[in-house]
Amino acid sequence: MAKGRVNPNHTLETQGITGLGTVYYNLREPDLIAQALCLGEGELGQGGTLLVSTGKFTGRSPNDKHIVKTDSVADKIWWDANRAMSPEGFDRLYDDMLAHMAGRDYFVQDLFGGADPAHKLDVRVVTELAWHSLFIRHLLRRPEAEDIDSFEPEFTIINSPSFRADPERHDCRSETVIALNFDRKLILIGGTEYAGENKKSVFTLLNYMLPEKGIMPMHCSANHAPGNPVDTAVFFGLSGTGKTTLSADPERVLIGDDEHGWSDRGTFNFEGGCYAKTINLSREAEPEIYETTQKFGTVIENMVYDPETKELDFEDDSLTPNMRCAYPLDYISNASPTALGGHPKNIIMLTCDAFGVLPPIARLTPAQAMYHFLSGFTSKVAGTERGVTEPQPTFSTCFGAPFMPRRPEEYGALLREKIAKHGATCWLVNTGWTGGAYGTGSRMPIKATRALLTAALDGSLEDAPFRKDKNFGFEVPTHVKASAVPDILLDPRRTWDDAAAYDRQAAKLVQMFAENFAQYEEHIDDDVKAIAIREAASA
């Protein structure tokens, strides 16, 4: 039985998926919330939000993601970072998952990734959970109602959390599985209720497909100046560096907070919504994001709340520090209605340096930008994971290694080519610690970070005096006019009580960079290699 609006020529049955119970096609938010509540998947929160828990898995399972190793992709995939699955294992997984799904009700959303019509990817998402259908309806982009009648999916995602994979039979690692088959145009997800797997699987698809069209896929947020899409900025960064927070600038137009493409036409958002962290979220610091946590249809994920009033506790991370909310992009008042921008005028690479070494902002040459893009540095701090007692470096190449099917150098070369062609200015911004490492120093003041970004984006920082950093070779401003940023903050060595201790910490971090970057030296240009050699010599 089918319910909802669907192209009759492209139902699940016409795809060979038969024997299911009721299939709900393209339900809208009120009906999806009603279904989720009826099925006991969550509770109704303040303002009509949906309060859900993802159970055992409160984050992605990158070690359980597999790419099917067929002849067409075998020579294109970065197998050092992507687990292979045999075509035979995938076929058995598909057959067993369909057998498991028989007689059960499922929810279907016909959506697309990519705001630029010339480069969009039509995706059908089949979910066991109604709230997953609501989540992905927020996070991907929705066709117009009349376009549903002619919708033909290019890829199909099937997500059945109650299914458990058999590692021996299905050629996977555990009972949890995310399997991408580019030949069969299928993605299978089982054994996890974490909704983020749905959206990141589409990002992985685009990361594989777009480079062949000369389009740079980016794990970044983006915004542009009011009334001036030509003045676009993109913000690369790993979790916890401030990617969502800093791009949601009330003085600029938000293009998107997480995934974008850079084509010959400019910048475009892949998504139709935002998936924001809510730990320690406050109305004062991030009013727009805070307000979404009380808006109809927002999915509130893994947050502690009062059982009677449904009031959210933004400080209680007993379920997970990775508590989040998912909402449509138009819930942010200054969001772009088109989700399109120009070629980036400024490229910001965000890092959270818990070692207290990096300056709050530095200007990068194109070669240095590629070096730091391939490095993808941030750091874990004590208390975030069991056994972490001091800052630990995290290098996630291209600021998103788990989502990169191809070798990092391919993305790096594409980024560098576009920087050279369109003349973008690149900046490294540290939102981490100053005056000492984590536990001794203090977090970089958010007001100072915003002031420096404003100066970078409006062009006034270009006129500042700069010094050359002796550890990394990039340029650091020594004074910023018309800002409240003290000069001492711009020189991290001066913020430490013990300058010699800073020097030792800096040498340690430089060595970490050099050791990590050694894996790329066979595949990079000579000028980037020169930076790597200088880093190694300095270490």
- HSE-up of residue 175 (Cα within 13 Å, Cβ side): 9
Measured from the Cβ of residue 294, the count of other Cβ atoms closer than 10 Å reads 17
324 is in an annotated binding site: yes
Q: For residue 257, report the phi and psi dihedrals to the nearest 5 degrees.
A: -110, 0
Q: For residues 164 and 168, what is the distance between their CA atoms, to the nearest angstrom? A: 12
Residue in this structure with the two tokens 């595949």, named with its chain if needed: 523
8 Å CB contact between 185 and 154:
yes
Active-site position among 53, 70, 239, 320:
239
The half-sphere exposure of 481 on its side-chain side, counting CA atoms within 13 A, is 8
- Return the DSSP state at 428: E
Check whether 237 is labelled as a binding-site residue.
yes
Out of 200, 260, 343, 372, pick the active-site residue. Answer: 200
Integer Cα distance of 441 and 508 in angstroms: 17
Indicate if 142 belongs to the active site.
Answer: no
243 among known catalytic residues: yes
CB 42 within 8 A of CB 51: yes
Residue 295 assigned to a binding site: no
DSSP string of 210-247? GGGGT-EEEEEEEEEETTEEEEEEEEE--TTSSHHHHH
Q: Is residue 244 marked as binding? A: yes
DSSP state string for 470-509:
TTT--EEES--TTS---GGGG-HHHHSS-HHHHHHHHHHH
418 labelled catalytic: no
On whether 341 is known to bind a ligand per the annotation, the reply is: no
**Which residue is catalytic, options 65, 137, 138, 219?**
219
Length of the chain: 539
245 belongs to an annotated ligand binding site:
yes
Q: Is 239 a catalytic residue?
A: yes
- The residues near 513 (Cβ < 8 Å, ≥ 6 apart) are 375, 377, 472, 535, 539
Nearest residue to 474 via CA among 531, 514, 417, 402? 531
User: Is 283 tagged catalytic?
Assistant: no
Catalytic residue among 324, 345, 372, 418: 324
- Alpha-carbon distance of 459 to 454, in angstroms, equals 8
d(CA 445, CA 489): 10
120 counts as catalytic: no
Residue 60 is assigned to a ligand binding site = yes
CA–CA dist 535, 473 (Å, integer): 9
Tell me if 470 is assigned to a ligand binding site: no
238 in a known ligand binding site: yes
Which candidate in 244, 298, 394, 425 is catalytic?
244
Does 200 count as an annotated binding residue? yes
Q: Is 491 annotated in some ligand binding site?
A: no
Backbone angles phi, psi at 368, to 5 degrees: -65, -35
Give me the half-sphere count of Cα atoms (radius 13 Å) on the Cβ side of residue 126. 27
Q: Which residues are annotated as a binding site?
A: 60, 194, 200, 219, 237-245, 258, 286, 324, 449
Q: Annotated catalytic sites, by residue?
A: 60, 200, 219, 239, 243-244, 258, 324
Binding-site positions for Mn(2+) read 200, 219, 258
Q: Which residues are annotated as a binding site for substrate?
A: 60, 194, 200, 324
Binding residues for ATP: 200, 219, 237-245, 286, 324, 449
